[in-house]
Amino acid sequence: MKSFIHKSGPATPSMNLTPLIDIVFLLVVFFMLASTMVTRQAIEMTVPKLDNPETHDLSEENRIVVNIAPKSGKRDKNSPLEFEGKPAFVQIGAYGIFKLDDHEGITAALKDVYTKNPSIKVSLRADAAVYYDHIEPIMSDITKAGISTVNMVAYLPTDAGKP
């Protein structure tokens, strides 16, 4: 049968998959980047448990997590506080990892965060076995960056043991 529209014969439908492949590729890249940002905030540590907490949940989009990471090593699950009290490094969200004595770098990264979003909330996570002598200078760096409120992360007694 001869087509009146196409001189070469009837039109055959075909599907162009290029836009679909582009969208799938963009989704893969998005989820890879999103998972990287989430894993950078989640360093495995045992944070303190609270006896009488006054707590509140912070929104995900308006906070940055500052981790004071413990040194890696084998820990006894029954007594997690029997561990060396010196941390290994400080991590500021996706901004990077800093040495404990790099106070200028930590302050500069936090100033950059605060300049971009003055209503940012800082969540400070430190292992329960880390001595306060190592936490206090980091809190001072946060204050030097212009951030006046620091939220300490801890587990409620009912959430004990959850990562």
* Region at 41 (left for phi over 0; alpha for psi -120 to 50; beta for the rest): alpha
* 101 is a domain residue: yes
Q: 112-146 pLDDT, tens per residue?
A: 888 888 888 888 888 777 778 888 888 889 889 88
Assigned domain for 26 exists: no
Q: Is 150 contained in some domain? A: yes
The answer to the question of residue 133 being in a domain is yes
Residue 143, number of CB atoms within 10 A of its CB: 15
Is position 71 within any domain? yes
**How far is the C-alpha of 88 from the C-alpha of 98, rounded, in Å?**
9
Q: Three-state DSSP class for 48?
A: coil
Label residue 157 by pLDDT band (50, 70, 90): very low
Domain-embedded: residue 57: no
Number of domains in the chain: 1
- Give the range of the structural domain holding residue 87, as residue numbers without chain letter: 63-159
Residue 104: pLDDT over 80: yes
97 compared with 55, residue with greater pLDDT: 97
Q: Which residue has the higher pLDDT, 148 or 158?
A: 148
Determine the Cα–Cα distance for residues 16 and 4; give it in Å rounded to an integer.
25
**Model pLDDT for residues 19-63, shown as the tens digit of each residue:** 889 999 999 998 887 776 555 555 566 655 655 555 555 556 678
More confident residue, 123 or 75: 123
- On whether the CB atoms of residues 99 and 122 are closer than 8 A, the answer is no
Cα separations in angstroms, 60 against 8, 83, 146: 60, 31, 21
Tell me the pLDDT of the chain averaged across its residues: 75
Confirm whether 25 is domain-assigned.
no
**Stronger pLDDT, 101 or 94, i.e. the higher one:** 101
Q: Is residue 29 assigned to a domain?
A: no
Give the whole-angstrom CA distance, residue 79 versus residue 128.
11
